[in-house]
Amino acid sequence: MEKPYKKQVLLFYCVEAEELARKVAAQSDLINLQSINWRSFDDGFPNLFINNAQDIRGQHVAFLAAFSSPAVIFEQLSVIFALPRLFVASFTLVLPFFPTGSFERMEEEGDVATAFTMARILSNIPISRGGPTSVVIYDIHALQERFYFSDNVLPLFETGIPLLKQRLDQLPDAEKIVVAFPDDGAWKRFHKQLDHFPTVVCAKVREGDKRIVRLKEGNPAGCHVVIVDDLVQSGGTLIECQKVLAAHGAVKVSAYVTHAVFPKASYERFTHKNDGSEKAFSYFWITDSCPRTVKAIANRAPFEVLSLAGSIADALQI
């Protein structure tokens, strides 16, 4: 059987994603970094230039994006829409974190599902000489969002869970690991990928005006419990889950999320203080899908970054 063809890929990237792009390129001699001049006019609008534009004709091209705020999305979209039109052999957009993913619900008339809006925008990326654009996204918040994209693009949905499994196997108490899901949604998303671990499921129940976290099923007693979810914002649910698990006898509690959004520096709620206070979380594993957070929590316990670089390098060969 012939070995599968390996392609040379020219990888462009936004400013925020430079560190991750360099890690991706370090995974393979077949991935070569390219540069863009990210400038602005005096009025603040982007003044962009794709370096060596003529040299990328007939090449396989990719762009590593980070839609960390509305302020940076327009300039990146401008480049994303320009690259496929430069007569490239194929074009791949790597968007590790699909930022509007948690805004897919319409509970009353007037709600705007911005996840659908973003998917529609990306679905209109021009077709390259090689066909539709491939869009690589990790652990999108709601699985039904894959159907928001049109047939003009090819969404490739990847996951960071293999990185977590590899890390858990390295722990000295690997035999005592129990995986906890903070709600039924997380269980539906991830339980099949983690089915060789004992599991615990929590649930939010309404008591008066408050929503309280309760243990729904499973037994965490005497174990190192790892809470698994796709993303974290303020972290309130994780903290409430930790309290419930500890109250039911968990020896240690850790957490994993693929996307550490942490608006308004809410990661501070989890950092280990040097004041002798209780360290609620032994480990907090995140990926580097949100570069701003990775920079902010560098070398701060209990955080540990599991890089998507190897997985992205593999995805670029699909």
Looking at the domain assignment, is residue 1 inside a domain? Answer: no
For residue 158 the two structure tokens come to 């990847």
Q: Based on the structure, what is the number of domains in the chain?
A: 2
Both 90 and 131 in a single domain? yes
Mean pLDDT of 45-49: 97
Looking at the domain assignment, is residue 147 inside a domain? Answer: yes
What phi, psi does 241 have (nearest 5°)?
A: -65, -40
Both 145 and 233 in a single domain? no
Both 79 and 17 in a single domain? yes
- CATH number of the domain that 270 lies in? 3.40.50.2020
**Which pLDDT value is given to residue 149?**
95
Q: Which carries the bigger pLDDT value, residue 277 or residue 269?
A: 269
Q: Is 262 left (phi over 0), alpha (psi -120 to 50) or beta?
A: left
Q: What one-character DSSP code corresponds to residue 136?
A: E
Alpha helices in the chain (DSSP H): 18-26, 70-82, 114-122, 161-169, 184-190, 236-247, 291-296, 309-315
pLDDT in tens, 56-67: 999 999 999 999
Looking at the domain assignment, is residue 254 inside a domain? Answer: yes
Both 36 and 167 in a single domain? no
**Which pLDDT value is given to residue 277?**
52
Both 149 and 247 in a single domain? no
Both 242 and 199 in a single domain? yes
Both 89 and 211 in a single domain? no
Last residue of a domain, one of 116, 139, 158: 158
Looking at the domain assignment, is residue 314 inside a domain? Answer: no
Last residue of a domain, one of 158, 179, 210: 158
Both 292 and 221 in a single domain? yes
Nearest partner of 89 among 33, 127, 49, judged by Cα: 127
Distance CA 7, CA 86 (A): 18
Looking at the domain assignment, is residue 311 inside a domain? Answer: no
Q: Which residues pair with 178 in a beta bridge?
A: 225
Confidence of residue 274 (pLDDT cuts 50, 70, 90): low
pLDDT in tens, 9-37: 999 999 999 999 999 999 999 999 999 99
Both 232 and 111 in a single domain? no
Last residue of a domain, one of 136, 158, 180: 158
pTM of the model: 0.94
Q: In whole angstroms, how far apart are CA 160 and each of 57, 148, 172, 279, 284?
A: 33, 22, 22, 25, 14
Confidence of residue 229 (pLDDT cuts 50, 70, 90): very high
Both 167 and 47 in a single domain? no
Query: What domain range is 300 assigned to?
Result: 161-306
Both 171 and 147 in a single domain? no
Q: Kindly write down the DSSP assignment for every residue of 20-71, as one continuous string.
A: HHHHHHHT-TTEEE--EEEEE-TTS-EEEEETTGGGGTTSEEEEE----SHH
Confidence of residue 162 (pLDDT cuts 50, 70, 90): very high
Confidence of residue 273 (pLDDT cuts 50, 70, 90): confident
Looking at the domain assignment, is residue 25 inside a domain? Answer: yes
Looking at the domain assignment, is residue 318 inside a domain? Answer: no
Both 76 and 213 in a single domain? no
Looking at the domain assignment, is residue 42 inside a domain? Answer: yes
